[in-house]
Amino acid sequence: MKRLFLVAFAISIMAFSCEKEEGNFEPLSNICSVKNPVEELGWLKEEIQSRERTDSEIYKYFYILQAEYNQQTVFIYDNCCPMCSSVTPVYNCQGKLLFYLSNKPEESKRIKNAKIIWKPNNFACPEK
């Protein structure tokens, strides 16, 4: 449990060091052969639409990161939820689950250039 917290904390620190500016999305290199993954990757767009339709108050703590892992673009579903014990899945461009950071904490150091690409309108995580 302590290890999970540390991994989540490390990812959160990486996530908050970058900031998404509405309308000025600057994609990372090698981004799945699309210009805007939030709009052009069907599986990712569906996930975002599902999150935006939810009425759950807890979703204000959840966000999606785009990052680089082993020279490929990945998408990480992360959160800063203070009362959640959650796992952090990492997906490739096709929407295939690669691994959970909680199961492979050593992989977190291979995740580079993490950037928030989606967050809810009522985002409750501290931004740095």
Q: Is residue 65 part of a domain?
A: yes
Q: Is the pLDDT of residue 125 over 90?
A: yes
List of residues 6+ apart from 45 with CB closer than 8 A: 38, 39
Q: Which two tokens stand for residue 88?
A: 């952090």
Would you state the structure tokens that stand for residue 82, as one six-digit string? 């203070």
Q: Is residue 124 assigned to a domain?
A: no
Q: How many domains does the chain have?
A: 1
Say what the pLDDT of residue 65 is: 97
pLDDT tens-digit map of 68-102: 999 999 999 999 999 998 899 999 999 999 999 98
With H, G, I as helix, E, B as strand and everything else as coil, classify residue 30.
Answer: coil
Per the domain annotation, does 49 fall within a domain?
yes
In a domain, 18, yes or no: yes
Q: How confident is the model at residue 105 (pLDDT cuts 50, 70, 90)?
A: confident
Supply the range of the domain harboring residue 67. 2-118
Q: Is the pLDDT of residue 66 over 90?
A: yes
Residue 128 has a pLDDT of 55
- Give a yes or no: residue 8 inside a domain: yes
Does residue 33 belong to any structural domain of this protein?
yes
Has residue 55 been placed in a domain?
A: yes
In-domain check, residue 126:
no
